[in-house]
Chain A
Amino acid sequence: MQRFHVLSFLLCALLIGAHGGPEPFDLREGDRVVFLGNAFFERALDHGYMETALALRWPERNVTFRNLGWDGDTVYGHARAGGRRRTVFGDPEEGFARMMGEVRLLEPSVIFLAYGLNESFDDDAGLTPFREGLRRLLKEIASIRTRVILLSPTLFQEGFGADSTYIAQRNEMLTRYSQVIAEAAASEKQVYVDLTTFDQPLPSENGLHLAGPGYRLVAERLTQQLKLPPAKIDPNSEDATAIRAAIVRKNRLYFHRWRPRNDAFVFGERKDEQKIAQTEPAQFEPFIAKQEAVVRQLLQTKS
């Protein structure tokens, strides 16, 4: 099985090399998909469009999804440094180790990666460090042999308080950072999905993060660029809406398992003040499993 994966991975890489374009993407029986990135993924928790779009393609296959998005994160994992090692706030560099630890724990076979937005505020001077940081991240990920899909950031929108000249400057920078991501994808023989060019502005919640309909458009873009087969359940159907709601609920449960509130008492500096708190996150497991089964059943009965 493992060997088959490696072979098909190599074959895939060769094909990309030969034809210069990605092969159609598919999710296979037993795949574990991890969404790793900044608020682009964390905020997607509330909407579930991307995961739903993928799930609707292969409803018969047992594929699980985990969202490890974290607001404000970078390829260095800086937002994840919070203190679980008996220090209240870890060194920023601890974030990367924690990020990779959590990724490994999930044993992913596919990783969607969304970074670059926060890094882009380091402007031109930050391009080289970003390139290196991304390379380090991809290298670490390569050691666990997963397929990687790299997403560009989405652009900022006007009409949310900042003036248009400023927005244009930031978007120019986001485009440059996206270019770095595209180059990294090419050199690592991985798939790149561009989200910087849309005919109309993506519906936004605050000028930089997408509203639900924005995620829906992004999900459509994913299906196009990854050349996904047609959905077996109509994405605009009530069934699809019910599946998406079940997915959102499953992801919320997993969020509380993974990043419980009161982390300081559960894992961190204030651990010695509470006992019950530490046992509760694990109690989410059966509920997650149950909800995962609900999603599975919906997918299978509606397709």
Chain B
Amino acid sequence: MNRCLLALLLTSSVLLGQQNLTEIPPQDPAIEQASFKVAKGFEVNLWAADPLLAKPTQISFDHEGRLWVASSETYPQLNVNQEPNDRILILEDTDQDGSADKSSVFYDKLVIPGGVLPDGQGGAYVAHAEELIQLNDTDHDGSADSKTVLLSGFGTEDTHHTLHRLSWGPGGLLYMLQGYYIGTHVETLYGPRRLNGGGLWSYDTQTRRLEIYSRGLVNPWGVAFDRWGQSFQTDGAGGEGINYTFPDSVFKASPHEHRTLTGLNPGRPKLCGIEIISGDHFPAPWHGSVLANDFRANNIDRYSLEESASGFLSHLEDDLLQSTHVSFRPIDITMGPDGAVYIADWYSPIIQHGEVDFRDERRDQVHGRIWRITAKNRPLCQPVDYGSISVEQLLECLKSTADWVRSQAKQALKRHDQSNVETAIRTWLATLDPLDPRHEHYRLEALWSYQTICSAEAADFANVMRRSPEPRARAAAVRAFYHSQVEAGMLEESVNDPHPRVRREAVTVLGQKGSAEAARIALQALNHPMDIFLDFALWRTCRLLEPHWLAAFNEKGLTFKDNVDHLAFALKAIEKPEALAPLIVLVENDPEHADPAIVRLISKIGSSKDLNALLSLNTLDAVLALVEAARDRGVLPAQTSRLSSACLTLLRANDPMIVAAACRLAGHWKRNDLQAELEFRLTDPKSPVIQEAAAQGLAILGLGTPLIHLTNDDSATLASRVAAASALAQMDVAASVEPITNLLAEPLEEDAINTLVTSVLTKKGGAEALAQALTDQTVTKKATVLAMRLVETSGSPHTSLVRALTIAGNLQSLSEELTPRMLSSLLGKLDSGNASRGKLIYHRDQLACVTCHVIDGEGGIIGPDLSSIGASAPVDYLIESLIMPSKKIKEGYRMTLLTKKNGDVFSGAIVSEDQNVVRLRTITGQEARVPKSTIKTRHTSPVSLMPSGLTESLKEDEVIDLVAYLASLGKQK
């Protein structure tokens, strides 16, 4: 039956594609433009459209006001035996009428270029898959005639994650990004540079130094620097809005990093491109606002930034632009030399190449647009002729309020004689009016100018600027020492600066200074108020400097004297066994120091002897830590004679959470002498939490009799009987199936049913035993439906159990309402779908959608967030995912089966793993912790965590309504 359905589905999927083709929106730009709703006071005009360009990936203005476009018609994958033919285009508005009238091909032998940046000399840098190349036009005929591979070795594992988006930073470095699936190994003059996962690179085009600026984000697809040099990134595959980044900062999805910073707008949709509004064309209230493209919902978001401690807050404002046109895909956004905002429109109903086939014929491969947003009735900015004005005039440009003017002016300085520019900067600085409120910003631009031209004066002037009266300038100046060889002591003043941003920059820079002294000084930041960004920076610095300070500390060369807090911070940061001994001394001398982080660390890596330190703390953290060490690593405190009395003390504590943990501890510590204490707590109905824990404690000790007694005790509460039965299953599954069958006939809550069935299914032979016990028994319908779901996703077919459940729960045999015939007609009827009715269906208990999926912050986290699924997925993909969830599984939601040495099986999505434990998120949303030492095999299942057959109870019109609802999500219409 399954195979038959599959075959029919395969044939019909061809039909689906063709049927849906008719639904591709009209490609006339006027129709697209008519869908735009732009913020009050602004208007949009079509600046360029196909055939002037196609499939833009990045747009970038040069110093002559021409717009360079990296474009790819090849995306997502080169065809077999296809010659590379992707292009770099140059668009021009030669008659200055506000739209492009000329397009020329600069180069046309590329494969999926992800970024372009004009080099100011008639050529351009191009992010070209595994390479950063420079294309030159040596004969000045307007097209490239030579290609230099500056850097190579960027990974190409995922073509929308490969090297992309090139831009200049304030100090003249070239910045570029890569996404999560990329493993990069670049050989440079300064050594190999390796980066697994996402990150922001900086590249000095003059010294050719390549460095990692920040790590992580799933697919960072935009970086912008504010006027004080602080950097913000958007994530095309992450949901945290604007991310405030700084050197050595680490974000979500960076492999092997277990501490990361979060974005400033958690819960926001994925964003692509970023630009900060500056210049005088946009009205003043917009200055400093951040624009980013919500490409899935066809919108352009606006955020405002607010300085907060050493970082920022970001607030979502009303959109700059909304569209209802599903092919409007704003992929890049930049301000132009006229002060208008330019948007590169990838133009496609399909946005990327996960899930939807590479060769899906609905992928648009010919269109592309540039839209221009201007403020009504406000003058445009006047273009600057950077090529012909003097060095002095270029320096005056540094006073511009427009970020792009200052950036182009600094780039233009590179084309002049270095010593002339140095002299001119000195002269220009002398002419500045100290009373001008923007005086310090001008001086900072002078520092960045020195850096841009690679002047030796940069270091000296940074030394001056680190004492600027303006903290934002001081912070930027401190960053200038990141790569320079300075003594750590020089940064002591900045670590103790009154402004937190300066302190954070100094702490970060010290991480590069490779000495114990650098760590000692950085830790002085703890003498001042801390915040999340500072705390992260200091933690990171302590880890980077570990080889230096830990050795010095162990050899007594470095003492922390009275600064025990400094020592504790540093030791906690490194999470290494060597760090434990001094921490334990701290805890033993003063239990006040036993903060949760230290306790957790001892639990995670401490030896038997180390665990002794936790014995007398009597806090919940300490008990949980002792449980974890015993359960996950089998490590018990060395003072075995104290275990019973310590456990007894905890069992008699007032805090029920401590008592509950102590019940488990009694089990893990094999305290059979405490049996009576546990039995007493098992039958005390006042605290279900303690009852459950006592049941587990007894089960771990192998004491089944009291558990069996309780499960069969009709006078006991259902909750306590469930707890006892589930604990019993862990210990002796054969003995548990009969009481469990009895309980499944009772009116249980969903959680209770899940607990019982899961505890049986994870045990070897459990499913078969339960099937046998169900013979001639009756269980509730609810229990049957839920149990079926669990069986479905357990990784084994468990046919006997399915049969037994079907009979015991009196289920109809699997319905045939959802036939291929219906499927092929579904698409044709989608117009009749009602999203409001679909929403009600979505929330039906029986479908259990909400159990696993989030929509707008509500729901479970087992499956992918569906908040904007309608904006990102084609309808046939939605239908297919509903009916055949295993056909295409979203990354990160694949099911892993862990088989333990004792035969137990756990299934779920891996949440995380460390040296001791693998944490799985199971189908019921619970977290299972499986100690690594107990795992025999690990298997990735080709089956989705989403059970198939969920929609089998639906009638055709209901499926149509449900699809209509899902398709509407994220469209905000």
Contacts and interface: CB of A to CB of B under 8 A. Distances in A.
Interface of A: 38-39, 42-43, 46, 70-73, 78-79, 81-83, 86, 88-89, 117-118, 121, 156, 160-162, 167, 170, 205-209, 253, 256, 259-265, 268-270, 272-277, 280, 283-284, 287
B150 A206 contact: yes
Contacts of B209: 161
A263 B156 contact: yes
B152 A209 contact: yes
Contacts of A156: 189
6 contacts: A79-B194, A82-B183, A89-B196, A162-B207, A261-B111, A272-B942
Contact of B358 (A117, A167, A253, A276): A276
B159 A206 contact: no
Given A89-B255, A273-B355, A72 B185 contact: yes
Given A121-B191, A284-B81, A287-B80, A206 B185 contact: no
B129 A206 contact: no
Interface in B685-732: none
B532 to A, nearest CB: 27
Contacts of B358: 262, 265, 274, 276-277, 280
A209 B206 CA distance: 16
A46 B128 CA distance: 14
A118 B153 CA distance: 13
Contacts of A275: 357
Given A39-B153, A269-B891, A276-B357, A209 B197 contact: no
Contacts of B81: 253, 284, 287
Contacts of A287: 80-81
Given A261-B78, A262-B77, 9 more contacts: A73-B185, A89-B183, A161-B208, A261-B162, A262-B76, A262-B159, A262-B353, A277-B357, A287-B81
B890 interface: yes
Contact of A208 (B111, B187, B357): B187
Most buried by A among B183, B186, B353: B183
B153 A207 contact: no
* Chain B interface size, under 10 / 10 to 19 / 20 to 34 / 35 or more: 35 or more
B940 interface: yes
A71 B207 contact: no
A118 B130 CA distance: 18
Interface of B: 76-78, 80-81, 111-112, 129-130, 148-153, 155-159, 161-162, 180-181, 183-194, 196-197, 204, 206-209, 255-256, 353-355, 357-359, 888-891, 894, 940, 942
Contacts of B189: 156, 160-162, 167, 170, 206-208
A269 to B, nearest CB: 7
Contacts of B80: 256, 280, 283-284, 287
Nearest to A249: B83
Contacts of A86: 940
A262 B186 contact: no
Contacts of B354: 265, 270, 273
Contacts of A79: 153, 185, 194
A interface, over-half SS: loop
A272 B889 contact: yes
B159 A261 contact: yes
Contacts of B180: 88
Q: Kindly list the 10 A-B residue pairs having the minimum CB-CB distance in the complex, ordered from nearest.
A: A72-B185, A71-B153, A121-B191, A79-B185, A161-B208, A161-B207, A263-B157, A264-B157, A272-B889, A264-B181
A72 B894 contact: no
Most buried by B among A43, A78, A167, A264: A264
Contacts of B187: 38-39, 71-72, 117-118, 208-209
A67 to B, nearest CB: 14
Contacts of B940: 86
B181 A208 contact: no
B156 A262 contact: yes
A268 B111 CA distance: 21
Contacts of A70: 185
A261 to B, nearest CB: 4
Given A38-B187, A71-B187, A118 B192 contact: yes
Nearest to B208: A161
Contacts of A82: 155, 157, 183
Given A81-B183, A273-B888, A274-B358, A71 B196 contact: no
A257 to B, nearest CB: 9
B255 A209 contact: no
B181 A268 contact: yes
Most buried by B among A42, A261, A273, A284: A261
Most buried by A among B150, B158, B942: B158
A275 B256 CA distance: 29
A33 B358 CA distance: 34
Given A261-B78, A268-B157, A72 B186 contact: yes
A81 to B, nearest CB: 7
A39 B184 CA distance: 13
A260 B129 CA distance: 11
B157 A162 contact: no
A36 to B, nearest CB: 15
B129 A261 contact: yes
B36 to A, nearest CB: 32
A269 B182 CA distance: 11
Most buried by A among B155, B184, B192, B255: B192
A283 B155 CA distance: 22
A226 B148 CA distance: 31
Nearest to B111: A261
Contacts of B193: 72
Contact of A264 (B158, B185, B190, B357): B158
A71 B185 contact: yes
Contacts of B152: 39, 42-43, 71, 209
Most buried by B among A42, A208, A262: A262
A257 B405 CA distance: 46
Contacts of B186: 71-72
A161 B180 CA distance: 30
A265 B158 contact: yes
A43 B189 CA distance: 16
A178 B880 CA distance: 58
B149 A209 contact: yes
Nearest to A121: B191
A226 to B, nearest CB: 25
A273 B78 contact: no
Given A70-B185, A209-B152, A263-B156, A272 B894 contact: yes
B938 to A, nearest CB: 9
Contact of A88 (B162, B181, B204): B181
B77 A71 contact: no
Given A71-B186, A270-B181, A280-B80, A261 B156 contact: yes
A300 B192 CA distance: 42
Nearest to B940: A86
B208 A71 contact: no
